[in-house]
Amino acid sequence: MTEEVLAGDGIWTDESEWELTDLDGELDGEEHLVMPTLAVVGRPNVGKSTLVNRILGRREAVVEDVPGVTRDRISYEANWSGRRFLVQDTGGWEPDAKGLQQHVARQAEVAMATADAILLVVDATVGATATDEAAVRKLRRSKIPVILVANKVDDQKVEHEASSLWSLGLGEPRMVSAAHGRGTGDLLDDVLASLPETPREGTGGAGPRRVALVGKPNVGKSSLLNKLAGDERSVVHDVAGTTVDPVDSLVELGGKTWKFVDTAGLRRKVSNATGTEFYASLRTKSALEASEVAIMLIDASVPITEQDLRVISLVADSGRALVLAFNKWDLVDEDRRYMLEREIDRDLVRVPWAQRVNISAHTGRAVAKLVPQMETALESWDKRISTGRLNTWLKEVIAATPPPMRGGRQPRVMFATQAGTRPPTFVLFTTGFLEAGYRRFIERRLREEFGFDGSPVRISVRVREKKDRKK
C-alpha cells in the first residue's frame, strides 16, 4: 500500500490506512569500508575496461571498440571468494603522450603509484610493444606486486603466441579472454594472493554523504572536483566530453568526508545517444540515483541552454537534493548578471527551491560556500515533521484558504501524514481530488512554515473511495 502512496495518488477506504509506514532507507548508517585497490593498466585498446567488467561480473566500465574511451581513473567495488576490493580502471598509458592523452597517462601513473596490486594488460594478439616494455620498466621501480595479463587469448593458437610475453620479465603471463571470460577465475585467485588485507595507505570514514556533479559537457565539473580535492582527481581538458565514466573521490570538506562523483556531461536525450555517449548517459543516471545531493553546474557566462534544463529535470525527477552552482562567475559582467536573473526567473521555475551559489572552479572563487549549501539541502532532504504538528498547521491553512470547488463540491482534507523522507513525501487523505494549483499552494506554505530549502517536496493525494449504496 505504501509503495502505491509514494508512486502517486490513490484511494482510501478506512482510517486504518492513515497509519503509513516510513519507507526511509537507512542510508546514513552505511559504513565506508577500507578495501585494498587493484589497478588495471596498459596501453590503449588492450581490453582493460572489458577485463574490469569481467572482474566485477557486471557492465560498469564504458566499453567501445575504439581506443581512448576511458580517460579518468575510476574505482569500482568487486567481490571474489568473499573478499571485497576496489578495481581501478584507467585510461591507456603511453610514455610520450601529448595533449589530452598526456593527462590520461598521468591519471594511469597515479593509479600505478597508489594501488596495492597492479594488472598490466597486454594484447596477446599483438605481442609485446615498445609501450608495454616502457610500462614494465616503470613498474619495476615500484615495490607493488604486478601481474602480467595476456588478454584476447581466445584460442590455443593465440595461447602459443602469448608465451613470448615471458620476455617482458614479469614472470608467467596469465592468459585470459576478457570478452569471453576464459581464465579470469584463475586470474582472480592470483589477485587475491597478491592483494594485502588492508590498503597500504588511506583511511576510511563512516558513511560519507554522496554528491553527484552534473551538468552539460565542458561546464567545469572536473575542474571543480579537482579544486575541492586539492589535487588532480579528474582529467581536465578544453575538449568537451572529456569525462566518460563517473569518477568517485572522497574529499575532506568542512571537517567531514564527502563522496563526490564527477559524471559525464549529458549532451542529449539518452534515447538519442549512441555508442560511448549512450553508456556514459546511463552511468550518469546511475550515479545520480546513488547520490543524495546533486551539484548542478551551469555556465553563468552564457545563456541557460536546453541541455541545462534537461539535466535539471533529471535531478528533479530523481528526487535528490539540489544545489545550483553558477560557474565561470569570473567571466560575468553586470549586463550578464542582469540577463541571468531574468533567465533564472523564466527557465528555472521547476526548481525555485534549489540552493544557489556563484562560483569559479578555475580561480576557486566561493567554492567553499558549496559546503553549507549542501548541508542545508541535505538537512531538508532528511527532515521529518510530526503528524500532530503537520495536521494542526494544515487545518489553519485550509481554514484560511479552502480548496477550490470541483464538480459542484468542495473536497475536504481529512488527514495528512509524512510518508517518508529523502525526499520529504506527504500524503493528504481527502474526500475529493485536489487541483494541481492547490497542491502547489500547499507545498509553498509547507516550505514557508517548515523550511525544506534545497530539497524537493512531493505531495500525493488519496481520495476516499465511493461506496455503492444498495437498497
Look up residue 90 and give its DSSP letter.
Answer: -
- Distance (Å, rounded) from C-alpha 363 to C-alpha 342? 26
Q: Crossing angle, helix 306-318 and helix 275-289, to 10 degrees? A: 40
| Chain centroid, CA 246 distance in Å | 6
Which of 327, 369, 93 has its CA nearest to residue 223? 327
CATH architecture of the domain formed by 34-194: 3-Layer(aba) Sandwich (3.40)
Most distant pair of Cα atoms in the chain: their distance: 95
Instruction: Supply the pLDDT for residue 278.
Output: 53
The x, y and z cell numbers of residue 198, run together, are: 588492508
Instruction: Supply the pLDDT for residue 82.
Output: 87
- DSSP letter string over 208-230? PEEEEEE-STTSSHHHHHHHHHT
Q: Where are the domains of the chain?
A: 2-26+384-464, 34-194, 209-381
- Distance (Å, rounded) from C-alpha 178 to C-alpha 158? 14
Cα–Cα–Cα angle for 219, 225, 227, rounded to 5 degrees: 100
Residue ranges for the known binding site are: 42-49, 89-93, 151-154, 215-222, 262-266, 327-330
Residue 423: asked if its preceding bond is cis (omega within 30°), the reply is yes
Instruction: Supply the pLDDT for residue 360.
Output: 96
Residue ranges for the known binding site for GTP are: 42-49, 89-93, 151-154, 215-222, 262-266, 327-330
Instruction: Supply the pLDDT for residue 97.
Output: 54
Q: Is 165 exposed, middle or buried (0-12, 13-18, 19+ CB in 10 A)?
A: buried
Fold match between 34-194 and 209-381?
A: yes
One of 3.40.50.300, 3.40.50.2300, 3.30.70.100, 3.30.360.10 is the CATH number of 209-381, namely 3.40.50.300
Q: Residue 202 region, left (φ>0) first, then alpha (ψ -120 to 50), else beta?
A: left
Contact 142, 126 (CB under 8 A): no
Backbone angles phi, psi at 256, to 5 degrees: -125, 160
DSSP β-bridge partners for residue 119: 40, 147
% helix, strand, coil for the chain, step of 5: 35, 20, 40
Which of 177, 197, 196 has its CA nearest to residue 185? 177
Each residue's pLDDT expressed in tens, for the chain with a length of 471 residues: 333 333 467 787 666 666 654 433 333 333 345 678 898 888 888 888 889 889 988 766 544 443 443 434 566 778 899 898 988 887 777 666 545 455 555 666 676 777 889 899 999 998 888 888 888 888 887 778 999 999 999 888 888 888 889 989 989 999 999 889 999 999 999 999 999 887 765 433 335 788 999 998 889 988 998 898 876 544 433 433 433 344 567 788 888 888 888 776 655 454 444 444 555 566 667 778 778 999 999 999 999 999 899 889 989 999 999 999 999 999 999 999 999 999 999 999 999 999 999 999 999 999 999 999 999 999 999 999 999 999 999 999 999 999 999 888 999 999 999 998 999 999 999 999 999 999 999 999 999 999 999 999 999 999 987 765 444
User: Which segments of 169-274 does DSSP mark as H helices, in order?
Assistant: 184-194, 221-229
Instruction: Supply the pLDDT for residue 106.
Output: 65
Q: What residues have CB less than 8 Å from 297, skipping those under 6 apart? A: 213, 214, 215, 219, 220, 221, 224, 325, 327, 361
Instruction: Supply the pLDDT for residue 255.
Output: 83
What is the side-by-side strand order in the sheet with 425-430?
Answer: 10-12, 458-464, 425-430, 413-420
One of 3.10.450.50, 3.10.110.10, 3.40.190.10, 3.30.300.20 is the CATH number of 2-26+384-464, namely 3.30.300.20
Instruction: Supply the pLDDT for residue 467.
Output: 64
